[in-house]
Amino acid sequence: MSEHIIRAITVNQIGYPAKGSKTALFTGGEHQFRVLDAKTRTAVYSGVTSAAAWDKTSGASVHTGDFSAVTDAGSYLIEAEDGTVSAEFIIEERPYEELQQGLLKAFYFYRCGVELGGEYAGPWGHAACHLAEGSVIGQPGLKLDSSGGWHDAGDYGKYSGPGAKAVADLLLAYEWYPAAFTDSFTLPETDGKTPDVLLECKVELDWLFKMQEAGGGVYHKLTTASFPGLDVMPENDTDELFFSPVSAAATGDFAGVMAMAARIYKPWDEDFAARCLAAAEVAWQWLVQHPEEPGFTNPPGISTGEYGDEEDHDERFWAAAELYRTTGQEMYHEAVQALARLPFPKFALGWADMGGYGTLAYLLTGKDQTDEEIYRTLEEGLLAEADRLAAVSRQDGYRISLREEDYIWGSNMLVMNNALLLLAAERFSGEASYAECALDHLHYLLGRNVLDTSYVTGYGDHPVRHPHHRPSVGDGVEEPVPGLVSGGPDRGLHDEYVREHLQGKPAAQCFADHDLSYSTNEVTIYWNSPAVFVAARFNSGWQG
């Protein structure tokens, strides 16, 4: 593996919107700097960085070079007075269009049960996989069709809750920023009419239907008993598949995303939308009939990712809010009102805490159709959380909302989920400053960080190249599957590789671009999905 030289000047390695603020971050002492045309190397702007400040989280003395005055479209780089240079980057009205296409195309590469062909997959194709029926744990002799959907992560498991979260982010992105999805990135199903994002989400939704048992409950996950080797391609992972038991969390997530899909797909496919709504309603009835369900734990003999969740009020809240928004039926509104008064997180957007999706659904229903007190409480709470994130970002050397303790396994999910919440605050308040803060989070993901690393495979000039992702390890292709979001720094050092190599590092430096580092460099669908959302916002035009 080639050595990664960390530059003292870090930028978004893709680029910056022509309008709005533009900053590079420097380490070390204060600098005079110049913005150079990347082709001619002539200076188009010069400035002086701000005073340096020690940033404990990154372990660096950081200062800012503002070049917001540069607005002409083109390719640029930044040079310090000592000759140090940054990555090249572009300035355009919509610099993230190709990035968004790649982040979305990643879901095609996650597909299970179908051949990924050369026309669409390039060198990263593989044969159809996981076509065998799966055994239902606890029901001897029962086998069910398990094919389709998306692999969850660097392994080949498929999980109902995380899958629902990923689809929700993509559907929200389309609902809020449809102009960002007018261009096709070409899928086998592309018909020239239906937006490709909806075609791709349908792949996962069609699989989720298979996870619902006859009584309405939803199987928590579908996996082999244990993970295959790191170099095993999906078509060679032929161990027996198992449906793990139904859980309330999975059922609530299913009901929420299906009710959401029923609304969004109706203009495109009324029959599919009706099927989604019917499935959501049956799932809701299961939840009503099972008010006190224990949290999910792996059954004996299953050692794949558990995605355990002891608290299911958040999933029920999301389900009720989406069903109310889609149907207008009072019984769902009554459920929302009862659940909203319970003490669970209502602004989180992770696979374990889905209450934020319920809050968004309820606020999007509108003041006229909602309880005045609950609406106000949720709106004020969402804006207060966004203000907290913005305040943390202002104090952070790299302008993101993670505190030292937030550099957890999958910290980049927090980076993008927080950016999504900030953009929700922009939507409900009209304040552009929230979008500016969200954009800083995208800058971080794409290289403006202490490690000078783009955490998206194939994007930027210092991207992650060795993700913990079985197809990228086993396919014999030098470059990894493109468009995958890496998990990012994890101060807990949760795998052997980083425990050996990263002891004593500051939180934001606890990352290894190595395929053995599953705790810092794995990839998942639900780290990609909020990144698609954020990119779509800034591909819809900058109004800041």
The residues annotated as belonging to the active site are 468, 513, 522
Which two three-digit tokens encode residue 535? Answer: 């990119």
Q: Residues, the chain, total?
A: 544
User: Residue 121 to residues 99, 191, 368, 389: CA-CA distances in angstroms?
Assistant: 17, 18, 47, 38
User: Residue 127 to residues 111, 241, 522: CA-CA distances in angstroms?
Assistant: 11, 18, 22
Q: Are 172 and 148 in contact (CB under 8 A)?
A: no
Which two three-digit tokens encode residue 195? Answer: 């937006």
Q: Can you tell me the distance from the alpha carbon of 356 to that of 378, in angstroms, rounded to the nearest whole number?
A: 10
Q: Can you tell me the distance from the alpha carbon of 519 to that of 531, in angstroms, rounded to the nearest whole number?
A: 19
Q: What is the 3-state secondary structure (H, E, C) of 161-199?
A: HHHHHHHHHHHHHHHHCHHHHCCCCCCCCCCCCCCHHHH
Q: Are 219 and 245 in contact (CB under 8 A)?
A: yes
Q: Can you tell me the distance from the alpha carbon of 213 to that of 192, in angstroms, rounded to the nearest whole number?
A: 34
Cα dihedral 166, 170, 175, 176 sign: positive
Q: Can you tell me the distance from the alpha carbon of 132 to that of 109, in angstroms, rounded to the nearest whole number?
A: 20
Q: Are 457 and 466 in contact (CB under 8 A)?
A: no
User: Residue 143 to residues 39, 135, 140, 212: CA-CA distances in angstroms?
Assistant: 61, 5, 9, 14
Cα dihedral 440, 445, 447, 448 sign: positive
